[in-house]
Amino acid sequence: MKMVKTPYEIINELKSNSVKNVILDTDAYNEIDDQYAIAYAMQSSDRVNLLALCAAPFLNNRSTSAGDGMIQSYNEIFKITKLTDKNRSIPIYKGSDSFLSSKDVPVESEAADKIAEIVMNSAETVYIVAIGAITNVASAIIKHPEIVDKAVVVWLGGHALSYPDTAEFNLKQDVFAAQVVFDSNISLVQIPCFGVCSEFLTTIPELEYYMSEKNELCDYLLDVTKNYTKNPYAWSKVIWDVTAVALFTVPSAYDIAAMPRPFVTSDKKYAFDMARAPYVYVRRLRRDPIYADLFKKLTSVK
């Protein structure tokens, strides 16, 4: 099987101090975590060369359709990039306006085509970091299967392999897309949500202590976090998507391993076959060093 990098090569590269070429695929308006992740990636140029930002679809109580979620995410990306660095120009692309209807038919979008174009034109490995439904990435693979030999996908999606199901928000919205990515030959890193990322909790008092009145970006992030709950007393929040960026910036905070990639079944569960191609699986993370790096970089925005 031809893969751009073996899981062991990926693990070694993640642990290194090299700068990684990254495309960030984000459902930025879905809740409040993507906003932190976008700003964090922009502020981490010592480890992340951010090539593009792509808007991913989502459907929940903050959108009227998958396409509406994508457009709201597209607009939110512009807001965060301007708050982080109004002088920095990063290409931003509209993504899918629906989820996949099958494993064979892509959803046409600017993002899917640009993902493939960037990957194929790069002389070095491109890390496609997806922190929402993985529709754009799956569509790029269906349309341009040649990218599987030149890219690494990092996906924050699904639950830990030990969970009885994997009906997590990013995965359950587009099961076909998850199946396309897991069944392709593309090099893959999975960061599970419950069971791994669920450790990445913070609270309003902690955020206020480190971020309040530091700059316009921090005040915006603090406001959207406070407004996310109607019952803030003793409330904590997982800022999920930051952990996908921190895999490059604070790799020592992660316990990662190579293992056979599972199947994603139609009923949102995992099925296992030890003969499957290996992938990189994040087994655990330590929240403290990640938050320490996050706070330092967000508060340094001028």
Percent of the chain clearing pLDDT 90 (strictly above):
98
In sequence order, the 6+-apart residues with CB closer than 8 A to the CB of 161 are 192, 262, 270, 281
The pLDDT of residue 3 is above 80: no
Residue 158 region by backbone torsions, left for phi larger than 0, else alpha for psi between -120 and 50, else beta: left
Residue 2 confidence (pLDDT) above 50: no
Neighbours of 46 (CB within 10 A): 11
Average of per-residue pLDDT values in the chain: 97
pTM greater than 0.75 (yes/no): yes
How many angstroms separate the CA atoms of 21 and 13, rounded? 12
Is 7-299 a CATH 3.20.20.140 domain?
no
SS3 percent helix, strand, coil of the chain, rounded to 5, is 40, 20, 40
Reported as type and span, the H/E element at residue 156 is: strand 151-156
What pLDDT score was predicted for residue 275?
Answer: 96
Q: What is the dihedral of CA 112, 22, 128, 272, to 10 degrees?
A: 180
Q: Residue 5's pLDDT is what?
A: 86
pLDDT in tens, 99-134: 999 999 999 999 999 999 999 999 999 999 999 999
Distance CA(112)–CA(131), nearest Å, equals 15
Instruction: Show me where the domains of the chain are located.
Output: 7-299
Taking only the tens place, the pLDDT of each residue in 237-260 is 999 999 999 999 999 999 999 999
End-to-end CA distance of the chain: 47
